[in-house]
Chains A and B, each alone.
Chain A
Amino acid sequence: MLNISDLFVKSLSGYFSNVKCTRPKKHPDYRVATCDLVTSQYTIELTIVFNPRNLHEEAPIIFCDEPWIRRDINWHWFIPRKCPVCPNTHRLCWINPVEWRVAHGKKLKIRLAREGSLWLYNNTRDLLDKHWIGNELGIKLWRDDWPQWSHGEPEKNEFADEIQIKGKPTNWEVLQ
């Protein structure tokens, strides 16, 4: 039977090319997957770091570095909480960590791997498409019509506020 790490990497292989996963010697709890995201407009190499034991709680961290990446916190590319595997490296903030935690808290491994990998792919692709278009068109500032979680200290509880007011975050739609 496959463990969560293998299941997750296998699922990622359905969306990304050249997926390879290693276990860093210095941080044996973590896995580092490298892969290519290939679209009709661009190809970009990604590094995905995750902790299989804690995948329910902690969203994978994604690193990438191409010249067309908009290197700006407003474009959701910055150094957040420390990642022991790649400290002091900018990453793509493709998901609100609380969203991931709430969605996957008590999920079966196979479902976590399947849904989590697709979610990672969709959100990362969405964000990178915006970076690519931003570079193509010379968009300097994140557009107002592109949804995002707000920045800054007062917005830290935005997720909880939306749950309290609407019963769910505004970017979630309950399906029948």
Chain B
Amino acid sequence: MHRKLARYQGQTLRDLFTARKDALRESVSIPESLYYPSDLWHVYLKLDFEKAYENASNQKDATAFLRNVGKAAQIAEDVFSQIDGALIEAQGSMIHLLLPGNLPKPDLVGICKVLDTRLDKEFKEHDKVNSWRMTSDVGKTVLVESNGIHEDSSFVSLGKAANRPAKFLYKEKLSKAEESRTLKKRHLGVYNPSIRRWDCLDLSVMQESVETVIKAANFSAADLDVTVRGVESMIKQAQAVPIEEGQGAPTNEQPNVYFGWVMRADLDGFTKKVEECHDNDDALMELALDFRNLMDKAANFAKEHEEMLIQLPWAGDNFTAVAVYGSKKSYESAAQEELVNLSLDFDNALHGDATNAGFTGWAQGVAGGDVHGNANGNVFLGSVSIPGRRFLLGAGVGVGRSLQAFVDMDPSPQQFAVLKEDCDNLLKPYQSHLTDDTKADKTSSQLYRKGRQEDLQKAREEIRQKISPTLTPTKTAITVAGMGKVAASSRPYAE
């Protein structure tokens, strides 16, 4: 099976996305959305927003957030497509791009410098986007297309090189003060496998003194020439291409607004399995097939669950769904119980599939947040559109905080980390099992509480037992003139 696909090794990204796609589909045993392992550069761009925008609590801030991520994504796609690169996912303020794996390291630095220059020009006011950081690594990668999720065009990439930069970026961005970070603003961190650490280059000074930056990265003299030329020409090329307006709804200017909460489920053991597949195409392909199967199961769960769910694109091994409601009242009424029930349902439905595939289970981060009195919603759904493709993008307190839950709390498999303000609105039996405030760094969290699936499942049974008798209203037999005997069910009233 894998030999049959071997001829596609070495293909360019353009091939992957367009020309060879139909040929790949001819293979009966490989899902149409799975691509054979290729050497790729992964570049993650993380935008640093002003605090109000990252966890936007109103439509104005959310729109500003989505608009600026959209701009950055379009610029990034624009720049990277100049040298056969592509944007494959946009997750909140993080954008994931690919470049061909045979691109020399200095050219990678060069193209990232071009991107930095374009971003600096776009966000020179620094009123919403303060700065940005990038990380990069190269290696064998399988791409899995997130088919059929509300017309989203994201790809999930499996491979050590795909995981490592994202993890480094989050670890750097969310858990440390700026002065103590290795990866500072407008820096690019490139993984150096020989010394197993990150070389961090200051992109903001590069234009003034390219030579210094290149030397700092220990690149060869030959590389230097290429890079200097490359940077100059690429800047010219990239600036010559205007950003095209994307199509499709929802847009970032008019995002869809909902009341709801966000449930993220992280497939535990995924990174370890990816690392075990290092330099083993067959193992990586097998992992991709297992993962694709889990993606299908998770998508079915989202489609079939009784709550109205919107599935956001996978972020690596992270499944994300938004439970949405049409009014503040119905959201608040449901959230007191269903916020935990949904997570339990997901775990009950997919735990077995995960463990059967050799993973340890799902850890979850859940957040909705209190809704301000006159807010028209707390979850905002926009999209990043680039020619021919669209990426769904969420904004709001729940979107940001549910992701942060993993960094802050590091929940284990079958453990849920829930935003404290959501815990306070839950039914008492759930609250009594969401008490663990231990953060990943062993300090106490003011923001989150953790609970175990097993305990919360027991609490659910207790709630069911107590609620159950109240669900069938008592009937009273009465005689009504003109109707005869009537069984009148209890139905309270309020003027």
Contacts and interface: CB of A to CB of B under 8 A. Distances in A.
B485 A119 contact: no
B491 A96 contact: yes
Interface in B456-495: 463, 466-467, 469-471, 473-481, 483-495
B428 interface: yes
Given A102-B480, A119-B488, A123-B474, A143 B493 contact: no
B486 A137 contact: no
B334 interface: yes
Interface in B409-429: 425-429
Interface string A125-166: 111011001001111111111111101000010000000000
A171 B488 contact: yes
B474 A122 contact: yes
A1 interface: no
A73 B336 contact: no
Interface in B55-82: none
A50 B428 CA distance: 38
Contact of B427 (A73, A105, A137): A137
A120 to B, nearest CB: 9
Interface residues of A, number: 53
Nearest to A148: B492
Contacts of B428: 136-138
B487 A123 contact: no
Contacts of A137: 427-429, 463, 466-467
Contact of B479 (A81, A107, A123): A107
Contacts, number: 142
Interface residues of B, number: 40
Contacts of B494: 73-74, 76, 78, 80, 93, 148-149, 151
Contacts of B467: 133, 137, 143
Nearest to B486: A172
B325 to A, nearest CB: 10
A173 B467 CA distance: 24
Interface string B426-450: 1111010000000000000000000
A26 interface: no
B329 interface: yes
A73 B486 CA distance: 28
A2 interface: no
A115 interface: yes
Given A147-B473, A174-B483, A140 B425 contact: yes
25 contacts: A74-B494, A96-B491, A99-B493, A103-B480, A105-B481, A115-B477, A115-B478, A129-B470, A133-B466, A133-B467, A136-B466, A137-B466, A138-B426, A138-B431, A141-B336, A142-B333, A147-B473, A149-B492, A156-B495, A168-B486, A172-B489, A173-B475, A173-B486, A174-B485, A175-B486
Interface of A: 73-74, 76, 78, 80-81, 92-97, 99, 102-103, 105-107, 111, 115, 118-119, 122-123, 125-127, 129-130, 133, 136-149, 151, 156, 168-169, 171-175
The 7 closest A-B pairs by CB, nearest first: A138-B428, A126-B490, A76-B492, A175-B485, A171-B489, A96-B493, A171-B491
